[in-house]
Amino acid sequence: MEQTSLPGKAYKPAPPPPHAPLTTKLQEAAGVKEPHKLLGVQSVQPPGSWFEKGDGDVFEGTGDGNPSDYEEVFGKGNVPTPDSLQMMYSSPSRGVTAEPDKIAAGWGKMRYSGDLMDDDGNKVGEFKRTFVRGDSGLQVHHDLFWIADDYEHLKGRGIGKDVTTKALRAYRDMSVTKVHVSTAKDGRVAWACMGFDWANEFERAGMTECFHRFLRDRGYSNQDRAILGTAAKHAFTLASLEHDGEMLGREFLEDGPGWDGVLNLRDGDPGYEFAKRRLKL
């Protein structure tokens, strides 16, 4: 998982660039009928009653959670309300709702985390997201989205796909430039199928080498490996690789190593164009 080190206290981040006004796309993505409840600037009070200041226990190195800390991350006039964030990471039609319990902002970052609850009020998992303002704009790290094995019946319902689709639609309205993931057991195939790609050239080279070893162990010739191995250029093309009735790419990703991924929210980017088609963004 890509980590961003916290700057020292002497660090003074540059003011965020101006953002285009947020549109009703986020409202549509979240399924909220009252747009005035969806987005707004926390110009006087920090977000709702579950708000917890960044005193170090919540997020090491944060500020005190003043409204200006949130505006530093999102830009003045573009700070999401608690309701919008909760809707973004919930999938009520599939039986899971995000219940935030901790939020903290400072030093150009905001961390948002909590529990995933089912319709009966049981905690079935956890989630965590980190918004980071940097030189290349606002980025989001999908640190965690986990459903416990005891609630296996919730898996396979498309919860992750539904939440990710709503989030990506919202992110474009929020001027997010990149989304980062670090795959675990359940995410190795899923993230690739949604357009995420290797995080960098080092990741690409490592996963390509692993895939070539996978093909060699399956008995493929050097010529076949050279042809099939080209699919590993992108994580999303590898996930779609089929040969002789076998989903080779999916099989490799399911059993292979975890990988760090990124989705560049830029028109024309191969991964984002794939995501737009796959998720109907």
pLDDT attached to residue 18: 40
Q: What is the pLDDT of residue 139?
A: 96
Beta carbons within 10 angstroms of residue 24's beta carbon? 12
**CB 187 within 8 Å of CB 143:** no
| CB-based burial, 118-152: b 16+ in 10 Å, e otherwise | beeeeebbbbbbbbbbeeebbbbbbbebebeeebe
DSSP letter for each residue of 55-69: SSSSSTT-----HHH
For helices 270-279 and 159-173, give the axis angle rounded to 10 degrees: 120
Q: What is the largest CA-CA distance in the chain?
A: 66
pLDDT on residue 47: 35
Confidence at residue 19, expressed as pLDDT on a 0 to 100 scale: 35
Q: What is the pLDDT of residue 77?
A: 78
Spatial distance between the Cα atoms of 129 and 105, rounded to a whole number of angstroms? 12
Task: Give the pLDDT score at 20.
Answer: 35
Residue 125 to residue 226: CA distance in whole angstroms: 41
Q: What is the pLDDT of residues 175-203, one digit of tens each?
A: 999 999 998 767 899 999 999 999 999 99
Q: How many CA atoms lie within 13 A of 77 on its CB side?
A: 10
Q: What is the model's pLDDT at position 212?
A: 96
Q: What is the pLDDT of residue 213?
A: 96
User: Positive or negative CA dihedral for 80, 82, 86, 89?
Assistant: positive
pLDDT-flagged residues of the chain (< 50): 1-64
Centre a 10 Å sphere on the Cβ of residue 155 and count the other Cβ atoms it contains: 14
d(CA 80, CA 83): 8
